[in-house]
Structure 1
């Protein structure tokens, strides 16, 4: 059984199309999991949703930005002093402009779809066991599980879960770790990778009770994506573009 794992598309249609083309030529997955943060930031929020919904054998969950788009909530970060407040206020202004523009580009059908998304996925693989999919960590779509997260801290997120394999996104940094009986994978980011300018996704192949994980990197036309963002009408396009240029 082969599972393709995509996360953090962030409205970047150029990157999503490149990843799907690579997936089509490289592997024929039995299942596709899309692990949240689908449309905020990029030039094509609705188009990315339509592309995802058209995929065969796909299951999709909500990420923290998807949740915020449909509920209007903000993140939990709070400034601790006047200096932090100045930068936070500017960040909040830009972020809210980006949110508002993204919402204006979504149809009611898009909204209904985002509202319907579950926070987690489960799948039982014969001769292997249970897989779980989440955005940040099980039960927390804003938790950061990183390659250097201490083992005990990472395992705390899995204490009340049964399974052998967990996969998420959120950090935009791929990861493949084995900790105390758990295989913990981060699929990286399709649309806004932090560690490499190329798009990133992962493929897990289950056979005879074992699993092999491959992190795939896919080049795409970053400048075309940035040009589309500049021409999109998003008043915070320059702020959004900084996030695409971080790699």
Structure 2
């Protein structure tokens, strides 16, 4: 029997985008499981709303993202990777996080694995160095670079996020897949992917973009005085909020 999974990444505290994706997934037939590739929170400010919505689902596997990690570091009194405006933003998000979610967040693994119809899958927020730290974003990825990074892996499919654009690379060794950011986009669209693996191991990928109303979300940055809002709205949402002012 074919297996069908949904792959989400980089929700970034955007409740309305996540809700729109879940509404579409719930109309899809035979979704066996969901995989969330990290950065559940940060950048967007609807932290508790997003985590509450995620908690309503029992069929999701998660991995840790760099924003999740930074916010946890702040709560635990450790120095995060973030600096200046980004650190102030993370501190603000951390201060508003409902502590009931801490046990869940603290248990987020860095990686996850699965197997469907003989295909081995590896899930990670982004590529890791030998010490388990996230590598800098590669803005010019190639199949050669990816195969080198995963030269010791036995995975047939590597799924990752972090870089907010679609990656769909197929080499002789494996498939590399990034579904794009669900919560950060320059249009009112929420992205995710459906991966189908057939009985003989055949692979089919569909990239989805779900329209949603992002007006209230974007205007909320100003209403709540979210730290680093100007940078976030420009870099991660293409200044769409200016259309609503």
With the length of structure 1 as denominator, give the TM-score of the two structures: 0.85
1:96 positional shift: 2.0
1:113 aligns with 2:104: yes
CA shift in 2, pair 1:145/1:19, >3 Å? farther
Contact 2:143 2:170 in 1 (8 A): no
Deviates more, 1:49-58 or 1:184-193: 49-58
1:134 aligns with 2:127: no
Q: Where do 5+ consecutive residues of structure 1 fail to align?
A: 77-91
Q: 2:193 aligns with which of 202, 205, 211?
A: 202
Question: Aligned partners of 1:149, 1:55: CA distance in 2, in Å?
Answer: 33
Question: Aligned partners of 1:141, 1:33: CA distance in 2, in Å?
Answer: 19
Q: Where do 5+ consecutive residues of structure 2 fail to align?
A: 240-245
Q: Which runs of 4+ in 1 moved over 2 A?
A: 72-76, 138-146, 228-247
1:191-237 CA-partner distances (Å, limit 9, x unpaired): 0136x552110010111211101110111222221122222342433
The answer for the alignment partner of 2:85 in structure 1 is 94
SS of alignment partner, residue 109 of structure 2: coil
1:103 aligns with 2:94: yes
Question: Aligned partners of 1:54, 1:12: CA distance in 2, in Å?
Answer: 16
SS of alignment partner, residue 27 of structure 2: helix
Contact 1:11 1:40 in 2 (8 A): yes
RMSD: 2.0
Q: 1:144 aligns with which of 137, 146, 163?
A: 137
Deviates more, 1:205-214 or 1:105-114: 105-114
Q: 1:20 aligns with which of 14, 19, 22?
A: 22
Question: Aligned partners of 1:240, 1:110: CA distance in 2, in Å?
Answer: 24
Question: Aligned partners of 1:20, 1:141: CA distance in 2, in Å?
Answer: 28
Contact 1:16 1:48 in 2 (8 A): yes
Question: Aligned partners of 2:227, 2:173: CA distance in 1, in Å?
Answer: 47
1:241 positional shift: 2.2
1:152 positional shift: 1.7
With the length of structure 2 as denominator, give the TM-score of the two structures: 0.85
SS of alignment partner, residue 48 of structure 1: helix
The answer for the alignment partner of 1:189 in structure 2 is 181
The answer for the alignment partner of 1:80 in structure 2 is none
CA shift in 2, pair 1:27/1:216, >3 Å? farther
CA shift in 2, pair 1:25/1:214, >3 Å? same
Contact 2:194 2:207 in 1 (8 A): yes
1:29 positional shift: 1.3
